[in-house]
Structure 1
Amino acid sequence: MIPVIESEVSQHGWMTTQEFIDIIAISGMSPGPVTANSAILVGYSTAGLAGAISSALGILLPAIIIVTVIATFFSKLNHYPVVQSMFYGLRPIVTSLIIFAAISLAL
């Protein structure tokens, strides 16, 4: 998402490349997701508080809606044995992916 934000910022001329790099650095040091932090800071630097609020809604609202829809469907399907078996089968795959990521970061 950061390259998408960068292309929008550069297309519209909202800030210089150095200002955007500074925003990414600040976003990386701030708690929370870097993408959301950088979008909010870009919105704030271009349009003040209204820009920060609209960019926060624009970056967070789609994910919230998608997670809510998926959770609604999952809660209706969770009691079926086939669905429970599928998630039980995914456990070793997810575990191995986490172990692979940890090993990759350690080396």
Structure 2
Amino acid sequence: MTPDSEQAAVIEAAPEERLVIVAGPGAGKTAVIVERVRALIEDGGLDRPGDILVVSFSRAAVGVVADRLAGRGRGQRRGGVRDQRVELGERGLGRLDDAFVPLLRPARAPR
């Protein structure tokens, strides 16, 4: 992937920046998100990939991101962390409802 200037700005943003990626079909969102995660780990010095949360609206998009982070998708680079599986932790990658519905459910009283 050769990112354009907007994509490069997202990929290279400081680790403390929280980003929301909104773009139309075919704009390269998935590739940018994958490269951002890798940049956070490789260049940003993030020691705990489990602190990253990636959410999407569809199971298909989540599957593509997971495959690319695991090195099974297209456009994988060779060398360094880009050749390694990236684990985001138990809840680090999922659909919006997977990530937030458990937080919104009221706690149940013990029986």
Q: TM-score range by the shorter chain?
A: under 0.3
* Bigger radius of gyration: 1
Structure with the bigger percentage of strand: 2
Higher RCO (Cα < 8 Å, 6 or more apart): 2
Give the structure with the larger helix fraction: 1
